């Protein structure tokens, strides 16, 4: 039932605004912002379909091969990885079916999603090379760290990798539309911490986290990934097990900034650590584990080039 408003001087828009939840108002604002962007990154349709296969017990290699073969660049990246020094040694692999069998579904998925994410950075890379390089290294480090942490909250590693890989996509959207204005905002506010979020709220009315989450929802990514992206700077509720993925991405983001930037502003979120059952004493060994994992994905780190 519609609310009855006696003051006829209020127009319909202002009346609606008074009764809409804040979240709905923010979503509407973000939707309008996205709709006005001329050159959005393409939706990662292949990655979404591959991610859905992780929960399909009847998936087969043929379907995986079919999806990867949709894009020749994805096929080339997968074969290159399969024939790299870390996996090679025999006859070169030229068949995608054989590559999937040799690498395994999870590694193929990581290669494909990283390649797709890298392609979304093309416009930023052309104008802001140093910023793009730094953001890409942070992105991959966060994804790898989230994947390692996923076992602590019984989350599918591919889901955690995806959320980590896409957690800062809102920054790409901002910079693609606002250009040097946003790039300068990031440099002045810092790559990590509350100062950037406060500046974004003041200028745009929403943060890169909220913007990224809304874009991913429009692309059809799962709700838990969208939530994790939206909350990657916020403390997750410790009483909800469903926030395990949000805690994973939150802490992975912190650890990636600490590793890459040595940021003194990077502070671990206590709520995320509680959900992940981590103590400060666990961090040094976790850093070593992340370092070791990153050694095996150097080709992913170079995809931005």
SS3 sequence, 214-236? HHHHHHCCCHHHHHHHHCCCCCC
Task: Give the model confidence (pLDDT) of 79-130 as tens digits.
Answer: 988 887 555 556 788 899 999 999 999 999 999 999 888 887 776 766 676 7
- The answer to whether domain 123-296 has CATH 2.60.120.920 is no
| Residue 5, pLDDT above cutoff 50 | no
In order of 47, 49, 50, 61, 81, the CA distances from 66 in angstroms are 12, 11, 10, 9, 18
Closest CA to 218 of 26, 31, 28, 23: 31
- Write down the pLDDT at residue 296: 77
pLDDT digits (tens, 9 = 90+) for 211-246: 999 999 999 999 999 999 999 988 877 655 558 899
Query: How far, in Å, CA of 92 to CA of 288, rounded?
Result: 32
Other C-beta atoms lying within 10 Å of the C-beta of residue 235: 16
Predicted pLDDT at 266: 61
Picking from 80, 94, 93, 248, the residue whose alpha carbon sits closest to that of residue 160 is 248
pTM across the whole model: 0.84
How confident is the model over 56-74, as pLDDT tens digits? 888 889 999 999 998 888 8
Q: Which of 182-186, 287-291, 297-301 has the lowest mean pLDDT?
A: 297-301
Tell me how far apart the alpha carbons of residues 194 and 180 are, in angstroms, rounded to a whole number.
Answer: 21
Dist CA 295 CA 220 (whole Å): 32
pLDDT in tens, 161-219: 999 999 999 998 998 888 888 888 988 887 776 788 899 999 999 999 999 999 999 99
Q: What is the pLDDT of residue 304?
A: 52
Which residue did the predictor score with more confidence, 251 or 258? 251
The string of DSSP codes covering 229-286 is HHTTTSPPPTT-GGGHHHHHHHHHHHHHHHHHH--TT----HHHHHHHT--GGGHHHH
Specify the pLDDT at position 179: 85
In tens, the pLDDT along 12-57 reads 334 334 434 456 778 899 999 999 988 787 788 899 999 999 888 8
Sign of CA dihedral 206, 210, 214, 216: positive
Asked if the model's pLDDT at residue 268 lies above 50, the reply is: yes
> Would you kindly state where each structural domain of the chain is located, as residue ranges?
41-119, 123-296
Q: What is the average pLDDT across 128-133? A: 74
* pLDDT the model gives residue 67: 92
With cut-offs at 50, 70 and 90, classify the pLDDT of residue 7.
very low
């Amino acid at each position: 039932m519609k609310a009855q408003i006696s003051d006829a001087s209020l127009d319909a828009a202002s009346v609606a605004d008074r009764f809409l939840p804040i979240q709905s108002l923010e979503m509407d604002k973000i939707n309008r912002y996205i709709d006005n962007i001329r050159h959005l990154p393409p939706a990662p349709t292949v990655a979404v379909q591959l991610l859905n296969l992780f929960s399909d017990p009847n998936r087969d290699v043929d379907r995986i091969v079919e999806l990867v073969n949709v894009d020749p660049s994805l096929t080339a990246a997968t074969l290159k990885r399969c024939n790299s020094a870390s996996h090679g040694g025999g006859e070169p692999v030229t068949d995608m079916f054989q590559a999937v069998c040799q690498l395994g579904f999870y590694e193929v998925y990581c290669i494909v999603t990283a390649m797709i994410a890298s392609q979304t950075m093309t416009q930023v890379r052309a104008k802001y090379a140093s910023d793009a390089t730094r953001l890409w290294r942070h992105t991959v480090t966060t994804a790898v760290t989230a994947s390692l942490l996923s076992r602590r909250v019984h989350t599918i590693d591919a889901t955690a990798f995806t959320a980590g890989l896409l957690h800062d996509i809102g920054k790409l959207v901002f910079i693609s539309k606002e250009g040097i204005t946003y790039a300068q905002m990031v440099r002045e506010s810092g790559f990590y911490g509350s100062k950037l979020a406060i500046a974004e709220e003041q200028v745009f009315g929403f943060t890169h986290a909220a913007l990224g989450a809304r874009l991913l929802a429009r692309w059809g990514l799962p709700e838990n990934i969208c939530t994790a992206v939206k909350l990657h700077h916020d403390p997750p509720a410790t009483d909800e097990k469903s926030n395990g993925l949000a805690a994973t991405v939150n802490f992975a983001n912190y650890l990636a900034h600490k590793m890459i930037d040595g940021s003194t502003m990077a502070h671990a979120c206590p709520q995320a650590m509680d959900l992940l059952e981590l103590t400060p004493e666990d961090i040094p060994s976790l850093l070593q584990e992340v370092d070791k994992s990153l050694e095996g994905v150097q080709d992913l780190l170079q995809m931005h080039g």
